[in-house]
Amino acid sequence: MLNKLWRILSSHTLALWVLISMTLVALAAGSLPQSARLSPKQQAEWETEWEATASWLDTLGLSQIVGSDWFAALCIILLINLTAGILASFSRKLAFYRGDLPPNYELQHRGSMPDVPSFLGTPPKIVGKQSRMRGIPGLFGLTLFHLGIAVIVLACFWRGALDFSDFVELSVGEVFSGQPDKFQRRQPPPEPFDAVLRLDRADIEVRDGKYMGEYRGHFSYQQAGGPVKQATVVSNQPLRLGDFAIYPKQNFGHSARFERILKDGSVRHLYIHFEVESEEWGEPWRGEKEQMIRFDNTPLYYSMSLSNTVPPSFDLKVNQDEKLVFKGELQPGDVADLGVYKLRFQGMVPWMTFNLALDKGIAPIFAGFIITLLGFLLHLLFWPRRVEWTITDDGWQVRAWVRRGDGAFDAKWTAWCRQQGLEPT
């Protein structure tokens, strides 16, 4: 029973089916909407427009494939199969090259010893047995190759378990240091974000009034109390902060910037974001929204609109419960008294959405690639060969264990046998 289970776990058939399944999973993960890639707004739009499809995908675990239990089970099966296959393959190769299995080549003859070419080694000078093994590093080639793949799978599985990705909207001039309320999913990362960064400038390029061009975020940042540095991030060039990486996404707009003046005289910044469609960027624009803003357990209900006129204007209506607190139009420098605090409108600045991802587990993946490459090179460059001579009182015998596909050895063996007038075997 145990032997049968071992054969199943180490079989190439199981490996083939698992790899086919992983390929289909990769295609599905790249084609179907995945909740980890969608912002909360995009997720809501998807679930509203395709309600039945979204429900079925969620029920079948296809809305977050990489984080699903069945994907984890598939990775574990692949890892077990690779480990069992590595052990079985290496044990077979070791037994073969130690001479515990029948040889590929064998020739015996009565009479005196013929001239022996160098590729067959040196036979013993007296009655007895002698063997030589060459290319031992090649024994580990395929083993290391498969071991590297197992390391990659295990590292990807570990990285997936630590996976974190969320969206953060930042306005020009805004400082971010990992505040939980800035994450759109309201779930802080599993590790502390030990950095402070400020968005200094946002460059948004829209071509022909509708096509997204290149867009950049220019940051000043500081890590763990170190020096202040500057960096520019684009989609394929993220800013790496410890184990985190931050890069822009295709959501942007105008932000109304305020100073929130508290009753004790202290001042805090407040940014209210308005999303802008790409075809409206750079054109006369007016955005409207309603939002509840809570501060010190006091909820205020804002009805507001922002216009990108010169200077910008901000229409604001604020209610606390059913009571009207403020209604009016603000221009830069104007102050609105909302009772619990005051708002000084400072103007309008661009904002962009950034994706903050925990980028941990890259080093083991690269280590797996290096092991895989080393194994491939060993398999390619070293050809293990074991040649065993046996000399008796009335004749001789030569046997060879050679890796399948070693054409150089096969050609030399055939030529040598024919020189002796013997049929090669």
Residue-wise pLDDT for 161-174, tens only, equals 677 888 899 999 99
Same domain, 411 and 333: no
Is residue 317 in some structural domain?
yes
Same domain, 423 and 285: no
Among 359, 362, 381, 358, residue whose Cα is nearest residue 370: 362
State which of 341, 358, 375 marks the end of a domain. Answer: 358
Is residue 34 in some structural domain?
no
Same domain, 298 and 425: no
Same domain, 406 and 296: no
Q: DSSP per residue over 16-61, as a string?
A: HHHHHHHHHHHHHHHHS--TTTS-HHHHHHHHHHTHHHHHHHHHTT
How remote is the C-alpha of 346 from its chain's centroid?
41
Is residue 423 in some structural domain?
yes
pLDDT at 342: 94
pLDDT at 23: 82
Answer for the pair 396, 403: CB distance below 8 angstroms, yes or no. no
Domain that holds residue 115: 103-135+383-425
For 317, phi and psi rounded to 5 degrees? Answer: -130, 125
What is the total count of domains within the chain?
A: 2
pLDDT < 50 positions in the chain: none
Among 154, 158, 161, 2, residue whose Cα is nearest residue 78: 154
Same domain, 108 and 178: no
pTM beyond cutoff 0.85: no
Same domain, 209 and 275: yes
Same domain, 263 and 207: yes
Among 193, 213, 191, residue whose Cα is nearest residue 204: 213
Same domain, 265 and 331: yes
Is residue 55 in some structural domain?
no
Token couple for 32? 């179907």
How remote is the C-alpha of 27 from its chain's centroid?
15
Is residue 284 in some structural domain?
yes
Token couple for 76? 């574990």
DSSP state of 140: G
Is residue 211 in some structural domain?
yes
pLDDT at 197: 93
